[in-house]
Structure 1
């Protein structure tokens, strides 16, 4: 029984409270990014962005920890944490591409897809311990989506009216 309990909490390079803080941070920052998409009633909203950021964070933590695992310390085993970053980038890009639709001469979902990709990057940053990068990227995203979005809103409304008149 003791061995089973020990398996639930293996020795880690990053302490468990820090791992928990990184995961909570990814959830919160992903929520900030997804909030605007949710507010505008887009398909990939709050939950999607949270899950993308959290999953990227978990992959980053696992990449960090795998380098230090006892069973993988053999010289014949090559672990490259950069491959995890590449895999997360490709995986999130695949999800984001699914959000992009070309319909009636207009591209839709591009900003949502870009937001999902950024949520993945923020999750990776926080998961790797680069909190400042994650916070600043989220702040920049907030400014772009909310403030720049407000500036573009009148233009979008006039485009929608023109398309409705056709």
Structure 2
């Protein structure tokens, strides 16, 4: 039989994380809707496990009185999984990738802890909730109002690079805006590379920007890379 005292906190945590994630997704940040739900869900699960230690399947040695703090084991597990999560997050230009994968690893670790301490009800609730976030909520995530982002790199011949004001005006004509602009000059000073993080409403007009760039005189090469969370 389902223990609703465990279900309601899980649902509340998912709702709170989702609302925060919607705001982050709307503004085009790398940690978005599902990532925030998973992080909030994981924290809720671990605290519920700690608050319900009386249900843990722990048996002391025969004839012995042992005073322990089993939560230290979960602390160690989560510290270890943190290194693994860090390994799946990577940065490319101004973009960050792998946030949802790292969050799913974290919540999976928490579910393993719950199974390990014998909290089967909470572990099954957590598994169902996680699968719903990663699977079913993907459809909802796709329908949310998004601000898309692209990594744009422009390689100009010597003396041909436009100023930042001209770049911003070109992007504005396509409904886009540059939130960051970086500059890299080659050692021989023959190539001026401009690295931009560009945002705009979804669906973002990458084809239009590519068409505009093709007609730019002095542009030796460029890349336009739309990105996801």
Q: Normalising by structure 2, what TM-score?
A: 0.36
RCO higher in 1 or 2 (8 Å CA, sep ≥ 6)?
1
Instruction: Answer with 1 or 2: which has the greater Rg.
Output: 2
Q: Which has the higher strand share?
A: 2
Structure number having the greater helix percentage: 1
Given the two structures, how large is their TM-score scaled by the length of structure 1?
Answer: 0.48
